[in-house]
Amino acid sequence: MRKEKGSCKIRLEHALFSGLISLVKFSPAWALRLQQRLLVFLLKKGSPRHSRLISRNLALAFPALSPAARAELKKKVYAHFGRMFVEIARVFARHETGSILEHTRAANLEFLERALEKGRGVIIFSAHFGNWEWIPLILRQRLGREIHIVARPMDNPLIENKVREFRTAMGSQVIYKQGSLRTILKRLAANAIVVLLIDQNTVPREGVFVDFFARQAATITTVSQLYLKRNIPVVPAFLHYEGEAIVFEVLPEVDFTAGDAGPDAVTGLTQEMTRRIEEQVRKFPEQWFWFHDRWKTRPQGEPHASQ
C-alpha cells in the first residue's frame, strides 16, 4: 500500500534520498568507493530484517554451500548493490550516461531486431539482476527506440516521482503494473518493446508455482499468456557486470511448442523462462536481488520458510 504524501516518514525518506543524490552529485570520482562502503554499512545496519532475509534466501538457494561460503557470498551481494545504487545515484544526479555507455558491451542485438521485423511488438523478459535499470538506456542508444517497462510504483510517492523521472531520462516509458494489460497490448500493437521483470513473488491468483532453485516459487504469467494467446515474440535479455564492464546480452527468441494455451502450457512456459533466469543467477549469484522475499507465497498447506 502506498503511503500518504504528507506523512513524516514519507518526508524523512525523501529527504534522505535527496541527500544521497546531492552527496553523490558533488563528490569527486575518487570518493565513489568510500560512498559505496558507506551505503553498504547503512544497508546492513539500517535493515536487520533484510540482512536476515538475504541469509535465509541464500540458504534456500545454495544448501550445499558451507555457512562460511554463504557469508562470503552475502558480502559480495552487499558490495554489488552498494556499487549499483551509487552508480544510479551519480547518473541521476549528474544526468551523465556516457560513463555507463562507454563501459557497456551489447551482445546479440540481432535476435531482438529479427523479432521486431515480425511487426507484432516484442516482450523482453528479464530479472532484477546486474543492473536492470540500464536496459532501456542501452536499447535506446543502440536501437533508437523508447522502451516501455512494466513496474510497480514505490511505496513512497515522493521518491516514486524521482524514480519515474530517472527512468524517463534513461529512455523508459513506465507502465504501472495494476491494470496494465490494455496499455501493454496497445504498445505491442505499435510494434514497441515492452520489458517485464518476472522474477519476483506474486499472489496465487496472478501466477503459477514453478521451480526456482529447486523450490516452488509463485511467478507471474503475463509473458506466457501473451506469447501463447497473442503470438507475441518473447526475447530474454540480461545485464550483468564483469569487473568494470557492463555486459548486456540478448538471448535467442523463445520457441515453445504447445498444443494450446491452457494451464499446463502456461505453467510449462513460465517454468522455462524461470529456468533461464536461474541460469543467469547461478553464473553471477552476487548480482541478483536477494533482498526480496522470492519464496514468500507458498502452495496451499505449505508453511513459509521462516515458520
Tell whether 1 is covered by a domain: no
With pLDDT > 70 as the criterion, what percentage of the chain qualifies? 97
- Better-predicted residue by pLDDT, 23 or 282: 282
Measure the CA–CA gap between 108 and 133, rounded to whole angstroms: 19
Tell whether 302 is covered by a domain: no
* 253 strand-pairing partners: none
Reply yes or no on whether the pLDDT at 1 is more than 50.
Answer: no
Q: Which residues contact 7 (CB under 8 A, 6 or more apart)?
A: none
Tell whether 297 is covered by a domain: no
- Better-predicted residue by pLDDT, 186 or 257: 186
Which pLDDT band holds residue 307 (cuts at 50, 70, 90)? Answer: very low
Q: What is the mean pLDDT of residues 221-242?
A: 97
**In 8-108, which residue ranges form alpha helices assigned H by DSSP?**
8-25, 32-46, 48-61, 67-94, 98-101
> Integer distance in angstroms from the first to the last C-alpha of the chain?
24
Q: Looking up cell 513512497, which residue turns up?
A: 156
CB atoms within 10 A of CB 65: 15
Q: Looking up cell 519476483, which residue turns up?
A: 200
Q: Please give the residue range of the domain that contains residue 28.
A: 8-287
Tell whether 2 is covered by a domain: no
Tell whether 304 is covered by a domain: no
Measure the CA–CA gap between 31 and 235, rounded to whole angstroms: 38
Q: Structurally, how many domains does the chain consist of?
A: 1
Tell whether 298 is covered by a domain: no
DSSP state of 179: T
9-23, 186-200, 250-264: which has the minimum mean pLDDT?
A: 9-23
CA trace torsion 153, 121, 251, 267 (10° rounding): 70
Burial string for 170-183 (b: 16+ CB within 10 Å, else e) reads bbbbbbeeeebeee
Tell whether 292 is covered by a domain: no
Tell whether 296 is covered by a domain: no
Q: Indicate the angle between helix axes 67-94 and 48-61, nearest 10 degrees.
A: 120
